[in-house]
A and B are shown apart, each in its own frame.
Chain A
Amino acid sequence: MLTIGLFLAISFLVSLAGLAALIWAVSTDQFSFGQKQARVIFHEGEEGCLDDPTAGSAPTDTERAAIDASTAWPVSLFLGVAVLWLVLGSLFGLVASLKLHLPDWLDGSAVLTFGRIRTLHLTLVIYGWLSLAGIGTATWIIPRIFHTPLRSPRFATWGAIIWNAGLTAGCIAIASGWTDGEEWLEIPWQIDTLLAIGGGLAVVPLLRTAFARSVEHIYVSGWYFLAALCWFPALFIVANVPGIFVGAEQATVNWWFAHNVLGLWLTPLGLGAAYYFIPKIIGKPVYSYSLSLIGFWALALFYSQVGIHHLIGGPVPTWVVTLSIVQSVMMFVPVLAVAINQHVVVARNLWAFKASLPLRFISLGAIMYTLASFEGSLEALRSINTVTHFTQFTIGHAHLGAYGFASFIMFGSIYYMLPRITGRLWPWPGLITAHFWCVVVGFVIYFIALSVGGWLQGVAMLDAGRPFADSVILLKPYLEARSVGGTVMTIGHVLLAINVFGIFVLTRPASRNGAIA
């Protein structure tokens, strides 16, 4: 019992001390920044103008053009491959979803069994689509906010190549049955070294660019990106070192890692992009720049300790479960800070939300970040977790975060960046609108089906008077609805891929300069 009290007390004190230090630092102006620093993303004359590449407004600034030229190659590679993995990963997701209600479909080979297809889906969308799109976006934004070209871009290109080689090898390994066997860590650790090297190489140019920057201030997106790019390699390496942990210890490492992939990797990549693109597209700085500081450090403090809420009611010490529950609830602090900053500036400029498709994707993604985080905090409470844990509700929640939040922001970011990178217009602007409505409608179906179905599944399993079979039978129509939603989402991804292919291959220059601005 001593350990419980002791660790909880230590954790609480350190967290509170950190938060108190932050509040003190902000209130006494230790960081001396405010709305002036929030404007570091604008060049002269950009503020107050809608900046939407899908509508044809093109950059005029020569310094900006040199910066974008330095990142064009590696970022094109990151984004192009990411979209490829997205389409492939979605197809695996769709097959896995269908197999849950058509269990005798494609059962002739181990490669095609549900357990492997589902794993390939997760591996491809997390380490292929979201990670690569996120690194690409960070690589593109960092030189822009530091007003200097990317240093050592070749490192980034090689990083992308090695990462993708590792991911391909990892997927082949999983499909053929060679796996490390822990959720989110299925790629064999021997192959993981390739991903670690690739990721490490991709980080070098960003750190070098940060140290060589020509502006004094590091814009908020830079905090998130720099921290995320240092956090992820550390997480990934510690979690993959073999032979140290067994049994219940391994379970805590597993969920410490898996939730930090969301909290300290995908979330900062997504938030960093949103913090750049939302004000940049609207042409107005975020609502309260100093608040973003609290949002960032509170995220680091609280999010890093939430992982064990995946083991509530399980065979691990009570104190560590309780600690993660407490920190999950504390996540309201950074989430509210980010929400105020990002949603207020959009709400005050709804005209831009209507006018710009990239902004629509990104700010909808930011809204879903708020919703996913609130839902996650509530889901960590013991009374709610006892129903939702072990059910499809969790899958719905995971998709609200990784899809509704992170993927929506990456969609918008890609639609913003690629016209700037290639100097061309999107060949089929109509497909962007179609993509938007496909993923919105598809995801609404997906999320509602799994949330309702999962909740009912959990209630049925808790009722000793009902046989277990009830929880399976009642779920089937919801699983079918999920497949419908997933199909519509996948169609949206194919539309994105067609446009990305077109903008790289078809040569149609950006001619409608400044049409909107």
Chain B
Amino acid sequence: MNRSLPLVILAMAILAFATVMLVVAPKVQIGREPAAAGLKPYTPEQLRGRALYSSLGCVYCHSQQPRAPDQAPDAERGWGRASIAADYAYDSPHLMGTMRTGPDLLNVGARLPSASWQLTHLYQPRAVSAWSIMPAYPFLFEVKDRPSPGDRVVWLPKNRRIPGKVVVAKPEARNLVAYLLSLDRTYPVPRSAIRDDGYSRGGATQ
């Protein structure tokens, strides 16, 4: 090869072709599907929590894309049915993740619906699961002498309590819990919905 211009043009053409295949065509196909019928848009409070989830990097340990029963026991673990493209219609940035250092969270609102449990777990994960390696987020909470009116006091087991003090959730923590509890894609979806069915012939529903 002895000419720079043809080299650069051909190289860019190959990238353009790849972009059509991996970006444009999937966008056209996914974009044609409306949001899932049971899916609700996020409330402003949930969106603030979602932004915090994203900025604290929760996505690096928690996926949000349960697998089909033919591939993995995600449903048996309570993580929900296999997700479809239309489950994410309101998600930007997408938070599907690539890692399960912790469990999948796409349906954590259905699996662990207690706000109180979520707050305790965020304040100190090892207060509820001794084996957990999740970071604690004490900076989303305040330690006070006594709660003010409207404060949400965090329940802690005896060995985690601070004598004479209470732990209350800052607004950030409450937003984050609101987002976590909104994660509930347990509504039924059509069999033909878009997802990778490469592990089964059965489609997205069970």
Whether A associates with B in a native complex is: yes
Q: B residues 26-52 with Cβ under 8 Å of A?
A: 26-27, 29-31, 52
Give the docked Cα–Cα distance between A102 and B34 (Å): 44
- A217 close to B2 (CB less than 8 A): yes
Q: Which of B29, B60, B83 contacts A119 (CB 8 A)?
A: B60
Contacts A256-B23, A317-B194 given: A472-B132 contact, CB under 8 Å?
yes
- A223 close to B199 (CB less than 8 A): no
- B100 close to A382 (CB less than 8 A): no
Is B187 positioned at the interface, with any CB of A under 8 Å from its CB? no
- A249 close to B96 (CB less than 8 A): no
Closest A residue to B172 using CB positions? A110
Task: Name the interface size band of chain A.
Answer: 35 or more
* A-B contact number at CB 8 A: 266
Closest approach, in angstroms, between the C-beta of A98 and any C-beta of chain B?
Answer: 11
Q: Which of A114, A182, A300 contacts B14 (CB 8 A)?
A: A300
In the complex, what residues of B have CB within 8 A of residue A104's CB? 126, 136
Is A39 positioned at the interface, with any CB of B under 8 Å from its CB? no
Give the docked Cα–Cα distance between A207 and B5 (Å): 10
- B63 close to A254 (CB less than 8 A): no
Q: Which of A31, A101, A300, A314 contacts B11 (CB 8 A)?
A: A300
Closest approach, in angstroms, between the C-beta of A468 and any C-beta of chain B?
Answer: 5
Q: Which of B22, B68, B135 contacts A320 (CB 8 A)?
A: B22
Closest approach, in angstroms, between the C-beta of B143 and any C-beta of chain A?
Answer: 12
Q: Which of A10, A101, A264, A389 contacts B133 (CB 8 A)?
A: A101
User: Interface digits, B78-112 against A, CB 8 Å rule (1 contact, 0 not)?
Assistant: 00001111011111111110111111000000000
Q: Is the interface of A mostly helix, strand, loop or mixed?
A: helix
Is A437 positioned at the interface, with any CB of B under 8 Å from its CB? no
- A3 close to B29 (CB less than 8 A): yes
- Binding stretch for chain B, among A229-237, A278-286, A412-420, A439-447: A229-237
Contacts A179-B55, A316-B194, A386-B72 given: A114-B67 contact, CB under 8 Å?
no
Give the docked Cα–Cα distance between A462 and B25 (Å): 32
- B133 close to A476 (CB less than 8 A): yes
Is A328 positioned at the interface, with any CB of B under 8 Å from its CB? no
Q: Which of A223, A234, A264, A394 contacts B98 (CB 8 A)?
A: A394
In the complex, what residues of A have CB within 8 A of residue B196's CB? 311-318, 321
In the complex, what residues of A have CB within 8 A of residue B63's CB? 390
In the complex, what residues of A have CB within 8 A of residue B4's CB? 207, 210-211, 218, 226
Is A59 positioned at the interface, with any CB of B under 8 Å from its CB? no
- B93 close to A180 (CB less than 8 A): yes
In the complex, what residues of B have CB within 8 A of residue A473's CB? 131
- B199 close to A113 (CB less than 8 A): no
- A391 close to B57 (CB less than 8 A): no
Q: Which of A108, A227, A479 contacts B139 (CB 8 A)?
A: A108
Chain B residues within CB distance 8 Å of chain A: 1-4, 7-8, 11-12, 14-15, 17-19, 21-23, 25-27, 29-31, 52, 54-61, 63, 65, 67-68, 71-73, 76-77, 82-85, 87-96, 98-103, 125-126, 129, 131-139, 194-199
Q: What are 11 pairs between A and B in contact, CB < 8 Å?
A: A7-B25, A110-B56, A113-B137, A119-B57, A177-B55, A249-B26, A251-B88, A252-B22, A314-B83, A316-B195, A318-B198
